[in-house]
Structure 1
Amino acid sequence: MLKAFNVTKRFGALKAVNDLSFEMQKGQIFGIAGPNGAGKSTVYNLITGFYGYEGRIEFDGRLITGKPPYRIAKAGIARTFQIPQTFPSLSVQKSISVGCRFGAPGGLDPAHVESTIRFVDLEKERHQNTARLNLLGKKKLMIGAALATKPKILMLDEPMAGCNPVEIKSLMDLIARINRDLGITIIIIEHFMKVLTELTEILLIIESGRMICCDEPVKVVNDPRVIESYLGDVNAASQ
């Protein structure tokens, strides 16, 4: 469904992403992890068209390299950000409507907006200004706004950042439902290895922009290269 071929991104002399190739299948939950500064978010910015790069990326059998972000979004790739990005003066309902109006094929679909609000469990907060939401509410809102675009792939950038264990469990359940009930393919960047080992089917580890390992999570966390460069301890996978 999504394929990257020998992708490289340079910032001056620095190679933030270095000859990276990977492939993910439709319906998967695909994880990406690695040390801080490994190039994970840069990979997201390449896929979504924010940066130019060497190499090529294909989505649904079509080349998306060189296409602007709005075209890639319209094609069916939506993303969230580590720090919640909301419209503080808009209500939850209007914020999700914005995602639908400008991102979904065919524009605003009120029925889809309503079903999305219910799906992310923000019915009680629908008329609240987004600035009044707590952290979990803002995370759900970002996911809801992305779902409102009717994506084929949902890209989540450290959705658990700053969350407590109860909030993490809530978000894990939501992500699993998105994949299972809506059939949406998911890519997730995350530092909590327990989240990745429980949610993902394939886990890609990168360091300094290069692939270290890409395999089933149980194999990845026991790979000596991953332990040496990232985990440091096989028990880290349970944390």
Structure 2
Amino acid sequence: MLEIKNVTKKFGELTAVNNLSFTVEKGQVFGIAGPNGAGKSTLYNLITGLYPFEGSIKFEGKEIRGFPSHKIAKLGIARTFQIPQTFPSLTVKKSIAIGNYFGSDAEFDPAYVDEILKFVNLYDKQDEKTGQLKLLDKKMLMIAAALGTRPKILMLDEPMAGSNSKEILSLMELIKRINQDMGITIIIIEHFMKVLTELTSKLLIIETGTEICCGDPNDVTSDSRVIECYLGDGHD
């Protein structure tokens, strides 16, 4: 569904992504992890058209290198950010409606907006201003706005950051339902290995923009190279 081939991105002398290649299959939950500064978010920025790069990115067999972000979104790739991005003066419902109106080539569908509100458990808060929401609800809203674009792939950038254990469980359950009930392919960057091993079917570890290991999450987290570069020498 998504094919990354020999992708490289340099900022001056700094190589943020280094000859990276991997494939995400339709229906998969694909995980990406690595130390801070490994190039994870830069990779997301390349996939979603924010930076030029060397190499190839194909979505459903079509080369999308050079496409602007809005065109990539309308093809069916949506993303969230590490820090929740909302429109503070808008209501929850209008924020999701904007995603549905501008992020999809399909006609604006108020019924679908209501469906998403219920799906992410924000229906009772639909008239609240987003600037007044708590962190978990802002995260749910950011995911909901992305779902409003009717994506085929949803890219989540550290959705668990700053969350307590109860909130993490809620977010994990939502991600599972998005994948299983809505049939949306998920790519997730996350630091919590337990989250990745429970959610994903394939896990990629990168360091300084280079692949360290990729495969079954349990095998990856047991790999000595991963333990050394990411999990730490004290990991058992």
| TM-score for both structures, normalised by structure 1 | 0.97
What residue number does 2:225 align with? 225
Q: Per-residue displacement from partner, 1:111-166 (whole Å, max 9, x unpaired)?
A: 11010000000011100000111000000000000000000000000000000000
2:159 maps to 1:159: yes
Report runs of 4+ in structure 1 exceeding 4 Å deviation. Answer: 233-236
Q: Any gaps of 5 or more consecutive residues in structure 2?
A: none
Alignment of 1:182-193 (within 5 A): 182-193=182-193
| TM-score for both structures, normalised by structure 2 | 0.98
Q: Distance in 2 between matches of 1:204 and 1:120?
A: 28
Give the conservation status (yes or no) of the 8 Å contact 1:221–1:234: no
Q: Distance in 2 between matches of 1:6 and 1:133?
A: 41
SS of the residue 1:182 aligns to? coil
Alignment of 1:6-85 (within 5 A): 6-85=6-85
Amino acid at match of 2:111: A
Amino acid at match of 1:155: M
Deviation at 1:221, TM superposition (A): 0.5
Amino acid at match of 2:200: T
What residue number does 1:123 align with? 123
| Count of aligned pairs | 236
Q: Per-residue displacement from partner, 1:158-189 (whole Å, max 9, x unpaired)?
A: 00000000000000000000000000000000
Amino acid at match of 2:65: T
Deviation at 1:107, TM superposition (A): 3.7
Amino acid at match of 1:117: L
Question: CA 1:10–1:98 in structure 2 vs 1: closer, same or farther (change >3 Å)?
Answer: same
Q: Distance in 2 between matches of 1:233 and 1:150?
A: 43
Q: Any gaps of 5 or more consecutive residues in structure 1?
A: none
Q: Distance in 2 between matches of 1:218 and 1:89?
A: 44
Deviation at 1:108, TM superposition (A): 1.5
SS of the residue 2:88 aligns to? coil
SS of the residue 2:181 aligns to? helix
Amino acid at match of 2:79: R
Give the conservation status (yes or no) of the 8 Å contact 1:222–1:234: no
2:88 maps to 1:88: yes
Deviation at 1:235, TM superposition (A): 4.5
Q: Distance in 2 between matches of 1:101 and 1:234?
A: 49
Q: Distance in 1 between matches of 2:49 and 2:78?
A: 11
Amino acid at match of 2:11: F
Amino acid at match of 1:168: I
SS of the residue 2:9 aligns to? strand
Question: CA 1:56–1:234 in structure 2 vs 1: closer, same or farther (change >3 Å)?
Answer: farther
